[in-house]
Structure 1
Amino acid sequence: MDTVEISDDVIRLGQFLKLANLAESGAQARDLVADGEVSVNGEVDTRRGRQLHRGDVVEVDAPTGRRGATVG
């Protein structure tokens, strides 16, 4: 699993999905979150605006398998 560095102390889930290349666009990030296909630290989260902190693990259920990244 890759670690994706952020410049601030926190980042919103929707932004992180794009930054980590787990979503191709903001619209896709919104759909993934709304459909319950995104988990943070092992728990499904449907809040696109959730604030992530360093060390949080984000995973996405994709058609090609589960992919993820750690906030760094």
Structure 2
Amino acid sequence: MKKTIKIDREFITLGQFLKHVNIISSGGMAKWYLSEHTILLDKEVENRRGKKIYPGSVVEIPDEGTYFIQAESPAELKEDEK
């Protein structure tokens, strides 16, 4: 399954991303999850929970999906503030 994930800051860490897409339930599970599962960040294996993910990146998690990271536009941010 392919999904677009919008972030409202410069980057998100891999651990934060996993929690954001509900793959793990707490940040403390990130280290364990990354040691047990293969995650590809821009087609390269990544296992550091603190790895920064920027808009334009692609995260692939076998059996879970492919996620395209996108920045929220300033207009979308203002709409959310209302």
Cα contact 1:22–1:60 (8 A) shared by 2: no
The size of the alignment, in residue pairs, is 69
Evaluate the alpha carbon distance shift between residue 27 and residue 37 of structure 1 in structure 2; reply closer, same or farther with a 3 A threshold.
farther
Report the structure, 1 or 2, having the larger strand content.
1
Q: Which residue of 1 aligns with 2:76?
A: none
Greater helix content: 2
Q: 8 Å contact 1:33–1:46 — kept in the other structure?
A: yes
Match of 1:45 in 2: 46
Provide the identity percentage.
Answer: 32
For 2:29 and 2:15, how far apart are their aligned partners in 1?
9
**Higher Rg of the two aligned structures:** 2
| Residues 1-72 of structure 1: pairs in structure 2 closer than 5 A | 1-61=2-62, 65-72=63-70
What code does the residue aligned with 1:69 have?
Y
Structure 1 residue ranges without an equivalent (≥5)? none
CA RMSD in angstroms, aligned pairs only: 1.7
